[in-house]
Structure 1
Amino acid sequence: MQANRQRRWFWAPLWWAISLCGGLTALPAAAQVQSLLARGEATGLIIGLKDSPTEAVTAERAVGRERQQWESASFKGRERLRRLAKEAGLPQGVVGDAGNAQLLRFERPMRGDALANAVRRARLHPDVAWVEPDVLVPRLAVPNDPGFSLNPGGQWHLQAPGPGNLAALNLPDAWDITLGSASTVVAVVDSGIRFDHPDLPTLASGRMLPGRDMVSELAIANDGDGRDADPSDPGDGIDASDQAQLIFAGCNLMPSSWHGTFIAGQIGAQTNNAIGVAGLNWNTRILPVRVSGKCGARLSDLLDGVRWAAGLPVNGQPTNPNPARVINLSFGGDRTCASAPGYQSTIDAVTSAGALVVVAAGNTDRTLLRPADCRRVMAVASVRRDGLKAEYSSFGSNVALSAPGGAMPDNPADDDRLTLMLSHSDQGLMGPTAPTFEYKQGTSFAAPQAAGVASLMLSVNPFLNPRQLIDRMKAGARLHETVIGRPTCGTPGTGVCNCTATTCGAGMLDANTSAQLATGPAVVIKPLGTVEPGTVITLDGSSSVAIPGRSIVSYQWVQVGGPPVSITADRSAVAKATLVSEATYEFSLSIADNFGRRGEDSVVVVAAMPAPPARGGGGGSAGLLWGLGLWAWVLAMVLRQRRRQRLR
């Protein structure tokens, strides 16, 4: 699970009264905690068999005959693994499933040379395609948080983008198109959920689905049992008594994260109810799938949880009656996807079943690791409010796009609540005590922004497949911002930097354009910024796009703000206008495709005189060198002209 900067916002006892009156009481935050690192201890081996009997049915949903086929194939796979384990001299254990592969669960955990020897023996068997240890998948590095203040902040990331808030998602315009639909299910594969939070949908409403607890190990589960029908989050904190246990000896002290509750609130909080915060999708159904507990998640539990969320069969578990169309997976890893085929195999299966897997890029400010570097996922990097890559965010060519994930301000004295993310949590440091809200940062909270927007798009057009959703969101993304003086992203450890298409994806997520692109064309206008009065500006909408199979047949530019000016070629993709005086101008472009679907957006340009140049300090070495260079160029041109005349 991606670890994140977090600050609890505790509520006074009269929670409801205060909420209804709009008074949100803030108390000091919990102490900063450090991330967990991979421990190297494994409870088993996840083994991919050559000609695996489960591969033929991995893309089938868990209903009827397909369920029987899966169970038969799973049984054959386990029988093969029993024989293989005996032939290879592997440690004794119980056989089972892990995602699309087989699992050999040891009688006792292994590490070091003993574990390496077991992996080597398994790999040498001719029936084994690949093998990896079943380890805890931990939270990633906690971004550095130099300070915080108690001034209240809000959901800046949902607003329309503008000066000082360039990374905002533009939800108000998107909500004019759709508020979402209950026909769409979004799975939060995470730490579970607090069902008692009054700003989250209830089970009785039908918007919160029962979900599933897929944590198999009792100590990690922290709820007294293994896999069952209750995905409630009992807390995942680690205290000194936990560290005294062998299984948690390598885990850092930390309070409970309430990670899944936070993400569920981002995507589908009760909205327009006069309390709490707004969700991206007002009507979508949330499917909580609990895969992590104390110290993280077993990889086998995580893979099974993703399969179950998509409606695919999982051995020993009932069929998921509400398959998710979007799966949010805010977890990281300690290796590449190419070196761990189990992840990719499961992602391929659920994607083929029609579920979009949205993943966090990672919080280590380096190149991507699994699952963010896996094929067919939608990896999301984190940008700050100003559009620059967040200091902690990982990056790479497999990132689809960027979204707000929260970040500390450059000046520690500034109000960080205006730059962090706000969503649902619990007051409890170890176990649950009372509902609250909390400020956090991390790519864990950038990914749900994309998952929520994808669910809005599916409410407009439920026929979109995962690839189409990714393509349209990328096509509708706004261009990355560039700030002079900041380095370009691409080197691990650079921190805050200017994004490029090869490091932070196609651009910054725009909910409004994405919703337009679900069924109709999307307007994309090149930004203009500030120009001098008298400038002839180019209004360029040539990057506007229609969905595949359709084409844009009409353009119409109109002026909607500022002193009236004439627009030349106002019915073309590219038009021109002369800004005659100092003022702020706004122009709108409306387009239509050959099916009559329309899209509209606007661009603002400011006409202002540039600031006068600074006086004094003229000349100097730079000025002298520039002047000498200019005269050298003039002299070279004269000599060149004379040579040409001699040659005539």
Structure 2
Amino acid sequence: MNSLPLFFNRLAAMLLPGLLACVSAFAQGSGEPALGLIIGYRSAEAGTETPDLSPRHGRARAAAQWKAASELNRARTTRLASDLGIPMRGASEAGNAALLKFDRPLKGRDLEDAMRRVRLHPDVAWVEPDVLVKRLQTVPNDTRFPDQWHLQIPGGGNPAAMNLPNAWTLTTNSAVIPVVVAVVDGGVRFDHPELAQLGARLLPGYDLVSEVDVANDGDGGRDADASDPGDWVSTADRQKTLFASCTVANSSWHGTFITGQIAAASNNGAGVAGIDWDARILPVRVAGKCGALVSDLLDGVRWAAGLPVAGVPANTNPARVINLSFGGDAPCSTAYQDTINAATDAGALVVVAAGNGAGAPRRPADCQRVMAVASVRKDGAKADYSSFGPQVALSAPGGSEEAGDLNLLLSTDNAGTTVPGAHRLGYKQGTSFSAPQAVGVASLMLSVNGVLTPNALIERMKAGARAHINVGFGQCALPTSGLCRCTTTTCGAGLLDAAASVQLATGPAAIITPIGTVTPGTAITLNGSASVALTGSSIATHQWTQVSGPTVAITNASTAVAGASLPSSPATYVFRLTVTDDFLPTARTGSDTVTVVAAYPVTSGGGGGSTSVFWGMALWAWVLAVCWQQRRARRKF
């Protein structure tokens, strides 16, 4: 009875590569080389997205669930590659998705063929190539706090400064909570004098670069050494397929610069000041020559947030804020979004650079639930290189070259053009270095109110932002603009203000139990009972409102736990909880939102059932039709 489906499946698997070759023979081969494919499966039964990975159920249980799901998905990916005739050298994970590693880098027509084969399989929801994500470009040079114009109190010829001295008066005391901040980047120079003085505040971190050629550290894979060996690209490197499109460049010391921005040894009479004088830095190395593989980057975000990554020791210091200064190569993908969702749900705010393309942001800046930061000059104008658009949360100084080093950003650096050389302070520009400004401020906010959620941090920083400055340039306008005047629709809510953000952090925190995806027609519970006020105050009122989605009635809307009955049609809903404390003389408020997706479950087409039969027959029909069309087209020329 089952012989017919089995026959079609086997026949499709045997002949699919040859038939697809007929189609791909007319494709134009181009693009970046890929080391593998990142795959999202339709079936929830064996997918790595399935386990509850949140710390609230216990680290050991989450790790065991992840390990079991990872092993199942690796076996599943191996079978998939075998059935489709794709040579592979292993299966692994990429954030919350599966990773099929090619036996050699593929690009152009060969890569298109492999992606098409996988995409057409009934159990595959989506697929993307595992390519190198290029590091955002920087401009280095070289010297102390008076030169760190971006940290000063705004005024005069420096209106874009972030007002750190007034923020430090609220946070530089023994009552603050040290916050773990992850720098997911190219590693760090632990021996830089401004960083070595951090002592135990500079955590060991981990090296998650999986490919030897990219790692450039000679030890062949992931390990506990998160130091940066240098990421230079030589003319000889460009002879390799993986680096053919890379730019010859000196080592950037990118992660070291960012680490110094956030937490360089401060108030010590020498060097530069970091934004958070008490933060603990977690270096997570994901990048090497020419950038980071998507799979390594996504695993790095997961590990930084304290979520399990197969084959890697557990991170015992989960980060509350993650700096991710990469992007610009493609629109946000499911692989990126799923991993960002997992990190956010674990309590980590993911702060990203808007990009240096002077146009619309690309991944991860165009993903949901991240905090995308654009760059402004000292005078408040959008920096000519900065990407911009409605996805941007706010803007922060990123440096600009119009007055030489004076308008660039100063932080910890290294003089080595390839391997590490003399330690120094250097100058750079780029949205890579705007993001750490927001990371440092978020860390200060958590140091006075550790229960703020990622969304609450974003909303309060946006609420505390100063208005954009009406500089003498035309308004920024998509699709592209160089130097221009920012508005709230192009450069976010305004200019980052550290003091205002820290003051807004001292109110109560609305904390909502996540809901996620439910079946249409479900009666949902809106639970804000975990909301808290700061010591010495209590929550006085709760108020639930609906932000978006088809209008529904909220029952008990003025209590901590409310409810709503959703209609029977699929839709997405957002609800907001606003809490008010009893602080005198003026009560303070805090709010947060929860998103509910009402959708019917997607069923798998696997297992040899009727879906597989129709998939095989439809695939045959489609491939033969395309081949016939190509044959007819050739006769016309």
Q: Which residue does 1:393 correspond to in 2? A: 386
Counterpart AA for 2:450? P
Counterpart AA for 2:249? M
**Aligned in 2, Cα 1:104/1:398: closer, same or farther, shift over 3 Å?**
same
**Aligned in 2, Cα 1:366/1:550: closer, same or farther, shift over 3 Å?**
farther
Between the aligned partners of 1:374 and 1:60, the Cα distance in structure 2 is: 21
Between the aligned partners of 1:598 and 1:363, the Cα distance in structure 2 is: 43
On the 8 A contact 1:59/1:350 being kept in 2, the answer is no
Q: Displacement of 1:333 after TM fit?
A: 3.1
Select the residue among 352, 359, 367 that pairs with 2:360: 367
Higher fraction of helix? 2
On the 8 A contact 1:284/1:455 being kept in 2, the answer is yes
**Aligned in 2, Cα 1:189/1:57: closer, same or farther, shift over 3 Å?**
same
After TM superposition, the structure 1 = structure 2 runs for residues 276-291 of structure 1, keeping only pairs within 5 Å, are 276-291=271-286
1:425 is aligned to 2:413: yes
Q: Which residue does 2:438 correspond to in 1? A: 450
* 3-state SS of paired residue (2:195): coil
Q: Which residue does 1:270 correspond to in 2? A: 265
After TM superposition, the structure 1 = structure 2 runs for residues 476-515 of structure 1, keeping only pairs within 5 Å, are 476-484=464-472, 486-515=473-502
Q: Deviations over 1:541-600 (max 9, x none)?
A: xxxxx999779xxxxxxxxxxxxxxxxxxxxxxxxxxxxxxxxxxxxxxxx984137799
Counterpart AA for 1:97? E
Gaps of 5+ in 2: 1-29, 509-532, 542-579, 589-637
* 3-state SS of paired residue (2:295): helix
Q: Which residue does 2:166 correspond to in 1? A: 173
Q: Displacement of 1:240 after TM fit?
A: 2.4
Q: Displacement of 1:396 after TM fit?
A: 1.1
Counterpart AA for 1:446? S
**Aligned in 2, Cα 1:599/1:162: closer, same or farther, shift over 3 Å?**
farther
Q: Which residue does 1:614 correspond to in 2? A: none
Q: Which residue does 1:213 correspond to in 2? A: 207
Q: Which residue does 2:583 correspond to in 1? A: 595
Q: Which residue does 1:579 correspond to in 2? A: none
Between the aligned partners of 1:597 and 1:379, the Cα distance in structure 2 is: 35
* 3-state SS of paired residue (1:200): helix
Q: Displacement of 1:493 after TM fit?
A: 3.5
Q: Displacement of 1:163 after TM fit?
A: 1.6
Between the aligned partners of 2:237 and 2:155, the Cα distance in structure 1 is: 47
Q: Which residue does 2:148 correspond to in 1? A: 155
1:42 is aligned to 2:34: yes
After TM superposition, the structure 1 = structure 2 runs for residues 84-163 of structure 1, keeping only pairs within 5 Å, are 84-140=80-136, 154-163=147-156
Q: Which residue does 1:261 correspond to in 2? A: 256
Between the aligned partners of 1:121 and 1:241, the Cα distance in structure 2 is: 34
Between the aligned partners of 1:456 and 1:599, the Cα distance in structure 2 is: 22
Between the aligned partners of 1:149 and 1:210, the Cα distance in structure 2 is: 27
On the 8 A contact 1:142/1:363 being kept in 2, the answer is no
* 3-state SS of paired residue (1:479): coil
* 3-state SS of paired residue (1:199): helix
Q: Deviations over 1:33-52 (max 9, x none)?
A: xxxxx951001001011134
**Aligned in 2, Cα 1:213/1:39: closer, same or farther, shift over 3 Å?**
farther
Q: Displacement of 1:149 after TM fit?
A: 10
Between the aligned partners of 2:428 and 2:308, the Cα distance in structure 1 is: 35
Between the aligned partners of 1:185 and 1:151, the Cα distance in structure 2 is: 25
On the 8 A contact 1:140/1:362 being kept in 2, the answer is yes
**Aligned in 2, Cα 1:474/1:152: closer, same or farther, shift over 3 Å?**
closer
**Aligned in 2, Cα 1:218/1:597: closer, same or farther, shift over 3 Å?**
farther
Between the aligned partners of 1:105 and 1:402, the Cα distance in structure 2 is: 38
**Aligned in 2, Cα 1:170/1:598: closer, same or farther, shift over 3 Å?**
farther
* 3-state SS of paired residue (1:471): helix
* 3-state SS of paired residue (2:126): strand
Q: Which residue does 1:21 correspond to in 2? A: none
* 3-state SS of paired residue (2:168): helix
**Aligned in 2, Cα 1:397/1:58: closer, same or farther, shift over 3 Å?**
farther
Between the aligned partners of 2:359 and 2:392, the Cα distance in structure 1 is: 12
Between the aligned partners of 2:157 and 2:370, the Cα distance in structure 1 is: 31
Counterpart AA for 2:306? G
Q: Which residue does 2:552 correspond to in 1? A: none
1:345 is aligned to 2:345: no
Q: Displacement of 1:434 after TM fit?
A: 1.5
Q: Which residue does 1:187 correspond to in 2? A: 182
On the 8 A contact 1:182/1:285 being kept in 2, the answer is no
Q: Which residue does 2:555 correspond to in 1? A: none
Q: Displacement of 1:201 after TM fit?
A: 4.2
**Aligned in 2, Cα 1:151/1:66: closer, same or farther, shift over 3 Å?**
closer
**Aligned in 2, Cα 1:149/1:307: closer, same or farther, shift over 3 Å?**
closer
Q: Deviations over 1:339-387 (max 9, x none)?
A: x210001000000000000000000100010000000000000011111
Q: Which residue does 2:448 correspond to in 1? A: 460
Q: Displacement of 1:511 after TM fit?
A: 0.3
Q: Which residue does 1:28 correspond to in 2? A: none
* 3-state SS of paired residue (1:502): coil
Between the aligned partners of 1:170 and 1:152, the Cα distance in structure 2 is: 13
Between the aligned partners of 1:115 and 1:192, the Cα distance in structure 2 is: 30
**Aligned in 2, Cα 1:483/1:300: closer, same or farther, shift over 3 Å?**
same
Q: Displacement of 1:388 after TM fit?
A: 0.9
Counterpart AA for 1:41? P
On the 8 A contact 1:55/1:100 being kept in 2, the answer is yes
Q: Displacement of 1:59 after TM fit?
A: 3.7
Q: Which residue does 2:561 correspond to in 1? A: none
On the 8 A contact 2:337/2:368 being kept in 1, the answer is yes
Q: Which residue does 1:231 correspond to in 2? A: 226
On the 8 A contact 1:153/1:418 being kept in 2, the answer is no
**Aligned in 2, Cα 1:92/1:152: closer, same or farther, shift over 3 Å?**
closer
**Aligned in 2, Cα 1:245/1:182: closer, same or farther, shift over 3 Å?**
farther
Of 89-98 and 254-263, deviating more is: 89-98
Q: Displacement of 1:150 after TM fit?
A: 10
**Aligned in 2, Cα 1:499/1:67: closer, same or farther, shift over 3 Å?**
same
* 3-state SS of paired residue (1:262): helix
TM-score w.r.t. length of structure 2: 0.73
Q: Deviations over 1:480-522 (max 9, x none)?
A: 11124x111123432111111111100001000100011139x
* 3-state SS of paired residue (1:80): helix
Q: Displacement of 1:241 after TM fit?
A: 2.8
Between the aligned partners of 2:127 and 2:193, the Cα distance in structure 1 is: 44
**Aligned in 2, Cα 1:149/1:510: closer, same or farther, shift over 3 Å?**
closer
Between the aligned partners of 1:152 and 1:79, the Cα distance in structure 2 is: 54
Between the aligned partners of 1:187 and 1:201, the Cα distance in structure 2 is: 17
Gaps of 5+ in 1: 1-37, 522-545, 552-591, 601-648
Q: Displacement of 1:142 after TM fit?
A: 5.9
On the 8 A contact 1:195/1:202 being kept in 2, the answer is no
Counterpart AA for 2:202? M
Between the aligned partners of 1:400 and 1:59, the Cα distance in structure 2 is: 27
On the 8 A contact 1:141/1:364 being kept in 2, the answer is no
1:65 is aligned to 2:58: no
Q: Whose radius of gyration is greater, 1 or 2?
A: 1
Q: Displacement of 1:243 after TM fit?
A: 2.5
Counterpart AA for 2:115? V
Between the aligned partners of 2:78 and 2:585, the Cα distance in structure 1 is: 58
Q: Which residue does 2:49 correspond to in 1? A: 55
Q: Displacement of 1:189 after TM fit?
A: 0.2
